[in-house]
A = this chain, B = another copy of it.
């Protein structure tokens, strides 16, 4: 069994309004950082998987994202896996 580390990003889909990101965009202007915009805020999840191979680890993370970590109606996910 090898240990893998997965780094997952779960972001609101582009078509979905992101009120938290919009609020932070407004605050950037008040802080004198008007050069920053188009802010979107999602989740970053790091986890460890014990699996025989990178393929198995990949499939387990896919399953975890689909069944628990992301709401696929409103969110999309991307992830990277590396052996540790």
Inter-subunit contact B47/A9 (CB<8 Å): no
Interface members, chain A 40-67 (any B CB < 8 Å): 40-51, 60-61, 63-64, 67
Indicate whether A15 reaches chain B with its CB closer than 8 angstroms.
no
B-chain residues with CB within 8 Å of residue A67 when the two chains form the complex: 31
A73 is an interface residue with CB less than 8 A from chain B:
no
Contact pick for A28, options B31, B36, B42, B68, CB 8 Å: B68
A39 within 8 A of B: yes
Instruction: Enumerate 8 A-B pairs (CB-CB under 8 Å) in ascending A order.
Output: A7-B9, A9-B44, A28-B64, A31-B64, A35-B60, A36-B61, A36-B64, A44-B44
If A36-B48, A42-B45 are given as contacts, then 17 extra A-B residue pairs at C-beta distance below 8 Å, sorted by A number, are A9-B44, A11-B44, A24-B45, A24-B68, A28-B68, A31-B63, A33-B63, A35-B49, A35-B50, A36-B49, A36-B61, A37-B47, A37-B48, A40-B45, A40-B47, A41-B43, A42-B43
